[in-house]
Structure 1
Amino acid sequence: MKNTLKKLLIMIMAIMLIGSLTACGSQKDNVKNQSSNTSIFPNFNATDFQGNQFTQNMFKDNPVTVLNIWFTGCQACVSEMPQLETLSKELKEKGVALVGVCIDDVSMDKTIYAQAEKILKDNNITYPNLIMEHGEEIDNYLNNIFAFPTTLLIDREGNIIGEPIVGSIDNQKQIDDLNNRIDKIIENDKQ
């Protein structure tokens, strides 16, 4: 009986370990359906790692903004960054912005700030990465994301379009699907 219980515990721990290594929460069910609660991304004030200020008005500049939400302890978030950097340059040609949001509380912990900065530098990231200022609306929204990375498509009115993309964007099929979604939003923007 003890051996069976021991084997069962080892199996459970192995399954949990494998699940945690595949992504920092890559199951679609781990994200509450944000679009059913609200179709508009919450108002926010943010600063990027170069000190530039951003608000929700940034969405007005492009027919689509791809918003990638990540944190420093998420290996899947960090490992997709080089692909996102390449994608950001391709999207720029379409008039689409790619913006990262680091949800670590870097304002309270300078070590985490330095770690986030190092991750961006080591991956040669040039697209903006924001640090959100605390506010009830944005904090509530971000605290309801349970899987990382999570990527949202936001139109120029600030509307979240479609379901969030949960997990890394790290293969050609995912990139093609993302581009198809972006093209449809751009087409709707022209009407």
Structure 2
Amino acid sequence: MKRHIAVPAALLLGLTVLLSACAPATGGEGAPSVSPTPTGAASAAPSGNPAPGQSGEPQEAQAGILSSFTATGLDGGALDQTMLEGYDLTMVNVWATFCGPCLREMPDLGELAAEYADKGVQIVGMVSDVLDRDGTPSEDQLATAGDIVESTGADYPHIVPGEDLFGLLGQISAVPTTFFVNSAGEQVGYAVSGAREKADWITIIDAALEEVGK
């Protein structure tokens, strides 16, 4: 039986809705929908999952949002929470193939992935609209996503969400949404809704690194 992430009821994302973000897809692919929490978090799953409300549960009692999951990459390889090990900070950028702001910031994210590689930071994409209504990957959408990654130079890992991540995806109301986790999959800081310039991402990443004590 597949393991599922226990998505905390208090995944408050601390989101600022910007013109640099796209609304979720309305077609058959998995469309995101979001909600916020004191520590901030983002997620991705087919539409229809209600976003959890805020609770007073202390953060210490909550499981890490990416502490246990299985998924695949765009290359078809298996991925799980071990991809976080060895990194002080992982930046997870949830994007969609239809989203212009997502695509426009991906070249900068590709550069940042290379520039921060020796600083204990990795960047990971999570593509939110490659699933059909039944939750299975669409071969056409996977090919489109792969072409986008190649053309934008976003040559960092990209997660194709599996069942374990549907609850997380179901909390994202706009793409791109970006959140940070530590090596144990626990969220660091607040999620960011909307695209950013490279200089802004540097400021945000450096602040997140300080939060994990690096």
Please state which band the TM-score falls in when normalised by the shorter chain.
0.7 to 0.9
Cα displacement string for residues 86-111 of structure 1 (whole angstroms, at most 9, x for unaligned residues): 11011102021111011123444222
Please show how residues 175-186 of structure 1 align to structure 2 within 5 Å. Answer: 175-186=201-212
Cα displacement string for residues 1-52 of structure 1 (whole angstroms, at most 9, x for unaligned residues): xxxxxxxxxxxxxxxxxx9964215xxxx84114456562143211112232
Alignment check: 8 A CA contact 2:21 2:193 kept: no
Matched, 1:116 2:116: no
Q: Distance in 2 between matches of 1:162 and 1:32?
A: 15
Matched, 1:151 2:200: no
Please show how residues 95-174 of structure 1 align to structure 2 within 5 Å. Answer: 95-106=120-131, 107-135=136-164, 138-172=165-199, 174=200
TM-score with structure 2 length normalisation? 0.68
TM-score with structure 1 length normalisation? 0.75
In 2 relative to 1, CA 114–47 (structure 1 residues): closer, same or farther, beyond 3 Å?
same
In 2 relative to 1, CA 39–160 (structure 1 residues): closer, same or farther, beyond 3 Å?
farther
Q: Which sections of structure 1, spanning at least 5 residues, go unmatched?
A: 1-18
Alignment check: 8 A CA contact 1:63 1:185 kept: no
Cα displacement string for residues 111-148 of structure 1 (whole angstroms, at most 9, x for unaligned residues): 2111111111111221111112123xx21121111021
Computing the radius of gyration from Cα coordinates, the structure with the larger value is: 1
Structure that is richer in helix per residue: 1
- In the alignment, what sits opposite 1:8? none
Which one of the candidate residues 84, 93, 103 is aligned to 1:68?
Answer: 93
- In the alignment, what sits opposite 1:10? none
> Quick one: which amino acid aligns to residue 157 of structure 2?
P
Matched, 1:32 2:38: no
- Number of aligned positions between the proteins: 163
> Quick one: which amino acid aligns to residue 133 of structure 1?
G
Q: Which sections of structure 2, spanning at least 5 residues, go unmatched?
A: 1-16, 24-32, 40-53, 56-61
Q: Distance in 2 between matches of 1:20 and 1:33?
A: 15
Alignment check: 8 A CA contact 2:95 2:126 kept: yes
Q: Distance in 2 between matches of 1:89 and 1:183?
A: 16
In 2 relative to 1, CA 93–113 (structure 1 residues): closer, same or farther, beyond 3 Å?
same
